[in-house]
């Protein structure tokens, strides 16, 4: 007799925990607290949120924030449809109505006036006023607001206001340990342990150069891309060139230096 399958065992995105982040997320959701996740690009923030949404059986609405993101993009707007003007909910409004998770990725990239719309949802009121329709939506208990950003890009022009920041509890993410990163690469790609270890060691070597030669160090995501190409039959040097070197820099001299590291690594 086959063992029972846990709910969503097949649908839950793969995620390798590094500490108590899953318990913190679940506690935040249970206590109706908004959550801020901070960490470098490609360290697993978005995957973590998708994993937790599946574990909690909640609909997930993800918004990739950018300079032109407006409050209407989040809340909704009137649109012409069949000759009539109809109201169309934005992702934030849909998440509130459904009692799901609204995840704003790289929230500091959004315009300052956009984040103000989050304030009444991110404190004890838990309401979303929709000025254009006159509605005031009260978030159900299952609704959760999650935002993330990369502190490495933070500056005076791109930072969360204290009035926004102090409405959230926060988790700090970083690149995983070597052991955990190997497990992630193998879990995501089914590549062998030797390949995973070589890629993780290469990623560590590139990260050691980051402060001097690279604007951004290689993410776990890029290591997974390289592993997928290698698992699919591409030779290791070519896979690392296209997935790591060329993805990290446009400078030809820097790329040539990184490629030398790759060649030496796999010699």
Taking the mean position of all CA atoms in its chain, how far away is CA 23? 18
pLDDT value for 132: 87
Average pLDDT over residues 82-107: 93
Cα dist. 235→175, 228, 253, 263 in Å?
A: 26, 11, 23, 12
Per DSSP, the three-state class of 43 is coil
Q: Which two tokens stand for residue 59?
A: 């609909």
| 88, 76 contact by CB (below 8 A) | yes
| 123, 167 contact by CB (below 8 A) | yes
117-138 exposure pattern, b = at least 16 Cβ within 10 A, e = fewer: bbebbbeeebebebeeeeeebe
**18-22, 125-129, 160-164: which has the minimum mean pLDDT?**
160-164
**10-19, 97-106, 151-160: which has the minimum mean pLDDT?**
151-160
Confidence at 208, pLDDT banded by 50, 70, 90: confident
Check pLDDT > 50 for residue 125.
Answer: yes
Distance CA 203, CA 197 (A): 10
pLDDT value for 212: 59
Among 252, 200, 178, 137, CA closest to 18: 178
Residues in contact with 55: Cβ distance below 8 Å, sequence separation at least 6, in sequence order: 8, 12, 22, 26
On average, the pLDDT of the chain sits at 89
Cα dist. 105→60, 110, 128, 158, 238 in Å?
A: 12, 10, 19, 14, 31
pLDDT value for 8: 40
Confidence at 244, pLDDT banded by 50, 70, 90: very high
Check pLDDT > 70 for residue 153.
Answer: no
Among 41, 71, 54, 42, CA closest to 14: 54
Check pLDDT > 50 for residue 1.
Answer: no
**38-42, 79-83, 156-160, 263-267: which has the minimum mean pLDDT?**
156-160
Check pLDDT > 60 for residue 157.
Answer: no
Q: Which two tokens stand for residue 28?
A: 């935040």
Residues 97-119 have pLDDT tens digits of 999 999 999 998 888 778 889 99
Cα dist. 68→52, 79, 110, 112, 240 in Å?
A: 29, 19, 7, 11, 34
Cα dist. 4→9, 64, 131 in Å?
A: 10, 37, 48
């Amino acid at each position: 007799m086959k063992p029972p399958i846990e709910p969503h065992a097949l649908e839950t995105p793969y995620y390798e925990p590094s500490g108590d982040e899953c318990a913190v997320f679940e506690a935040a959701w249970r206590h109706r607290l908004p959550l801020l996740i901070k960490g470098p690009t490609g360290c697993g923030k978005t995957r973590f949120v998708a994993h937790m949404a599946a574990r909690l059986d909640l609909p997930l609405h993800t918004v990739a924030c950018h300079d032109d993101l407006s409050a209407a993009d989040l809340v909704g707007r009137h649109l012409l449809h069949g000759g009539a003007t109809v109201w169309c909910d934005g992702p934030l409004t849909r998440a509130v109505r459904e009692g799901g998770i609204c995840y704003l990725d790289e929230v500091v990239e959004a315009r300052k006036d956009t984040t103000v719309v989050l304030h009444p949802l991110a404190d004890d009121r838990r309401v979303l006023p929709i000025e254009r329709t006159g509605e005031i939506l009260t978030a159900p208990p299952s609704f959760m607001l999650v935002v993330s950003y990369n502190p490495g890009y933070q500056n005076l022009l791109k930072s969360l206001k204290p009035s926004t920041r102090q409405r959230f509890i926060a988790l700090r993410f970083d690149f995983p340990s070597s052991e955990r990163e190997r497990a992630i690469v193998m879990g995501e790609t089914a590549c062998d342990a030797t390949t995973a270890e070589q890629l993780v060691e290469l990623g560590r070597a590139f990260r050691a150069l980051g402060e001097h030669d690279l604007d951004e160090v290689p993410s776990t995501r890029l290591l997974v891309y390289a592993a997928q190409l290698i698992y699919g039959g591409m030779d290791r040097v070519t896979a690392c060139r296209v997935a790591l070197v060329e993805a990290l820099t446009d400078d030809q001299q820097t790329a040539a230096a990184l490629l030398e590291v790759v060649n030496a690594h796999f010699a």
